[in-house]
Amino acid sequence: MRSVMKYILSGLCTALLVIGTAGCSGGPKASTPEPATLPVIGPDSSVPAGTDQTSPTRDQTEPETAAPTEPTLPSTEGTSEAPTQPRTTEAETTAPRPTDPAPSVPDVAPDATNFRTEGTNGYVIVIDPGHQAKGNNAQEPVGPGASETKAKVSSGTASRFGGRAEYQVNLEVALKLREELLRRGYTVIMTRTGHNVDISNIERAEIANNANADAFLRIHCNGNDNASVQGISIYYQTPANPYNGPLHDEAKALNASLLDHMLRRTGARNAGLLESDAYSGINWCQVPAGLIEMGFMTNQEEDARLQDGAYQMQLALGMADGVDEFLSTRAPKNR
C-alpha cells in the first residue's frame, strides 16, 4: 500500500513538472520596459535636426521649463520691481532733444552799400569786398587834403586759368566772413553786397569811420607778372603816414593777428605784413584797418584754391579768429 502511494505521488509530481515546462516555453514572453525618453525642450513637439539633446545650452542645475508662447519683458536687474514697458511714446521718439539752435544769419540786400546787421557783443566790424563789376576811373585824393589823386575804384584783377574775377572772389569770401562774424556776435557792415554798385575807396573808408568800427577788413586778391609768386600778405600804413600814422600800432596788431590765423587755417605761404602809404582806402581810415591780399590769381595753384568754396571758408575762419584775438584785449568802441 505504501508502495502504491509513493508511485502515485511520483507520477503526480512528474505530471506537474511537464505542465510547468510547457507553460514557460510555449506562452508569450513578457515585454521588456522601454528606456525613458528625454523631455522635449521648447514649445515645439520636435527637436530641430542637429540639436544635441545630451548637451543642453543651459546650466544643468537649472530646471528646464517649456518656453513661453508669448515674449516676456526684460527683467530689471538689481530691483524687485516688475519690469516696465520701454519708453517709446510718440513725443519721445519724434521730438528732438532740446538743444541750442544755431543762430540764424539774416540775408543781405542785393547790390546794397553800407549794409548793417546788428550783433550782440558790442563790436562793429566793417568788411569791404574789394573792387566791383565796373571800375570808376574818376579821380579822388589819395588822402585827406592831398593833391595827389587816384582812380576812385577799379574792377581788379582776374583768374588767368578760367576762374572768376577778383571782385567776385572777394565778395564770396566776404559773405562767408560776414556769416561767421555774425555767428560770433559781431555787428557787421558790408560796404557792398553785390557787384553792380559804384562805391569809391574814400566812400568805403568813410563807412568804417562813420561806424567807428573796431576793425576794417578790406578783402582783395593779388596778381604778379611772375606766375610763381604766391602767398597771403596784408598792407597797412607806416608810422609816418601823414593822414593816420598814429593808428600804425593798432593796425599792425590787428593785421598780425589776421595773418597768423589765416596762415594757420590755410597752410598758405606767408607773404608778409607790408607797410605802405599808397592806398587811399587806408589813408582815409580813422580806425584800425588792413588790406588783405588773400593770394595770387596769377599763380595757377593758388588761384585754384581761391576759387574753391572750402578754401574760401578757411580764409574767412582765419580772419574771424584774428578778429577774436585782436579784440580780446580791447573794449568795444561803441559802448
Residues 289-313 have pLDDT tens digits of: 999 999 999 999 999 999 999 999 9
Cross-strand partners of 255: none
pLDDT at 335: 86
Distance CA 157, CA 294 (A): 13
Architecture of domain 118-327 in this structure: 3-Layer(aba) Sandwich (3.40)
Beta strands in 29-169 (DSSP E): 113-117, 124-129, 136-141, 149-153
**Type of residue at 227:** A
Q: How many helices (H) and strands (E) does the chain have?
A: 8, 9
Cross-strand partners of 218: 128, 291
Distance CA 270, CA 279 (A): 21
**CA trace torsion 194, 197, 199, 200 (10° rounding):** 100
pLDDT at 261: 98
For the chain, the domains span 118-327
Cross-strand partners of 216: 126, 289
Enumerate residue ranges in the chain where pLDDT < 70: 1-103
Query: Sheet containing 232-236: which strands, arranged edge to edge?
Result: 113-117, 187-192, 124-129, 215-222, 289-296, 232-236, 270-275
Listed in sequence order, the DSSP H helices in the chain are 2-26, 90-94, 166-183, 201-210, 248-266, 280-283, 300-306, 309-327
Instruction: Encode pLDDT of 32-89 as tens digits.
Output: 443 333 333 333 333 334 333 333 333 333 333 344 444 433 333 333 334 444 433 3
Instruction: Return the SS3 of 68.
Output: coil
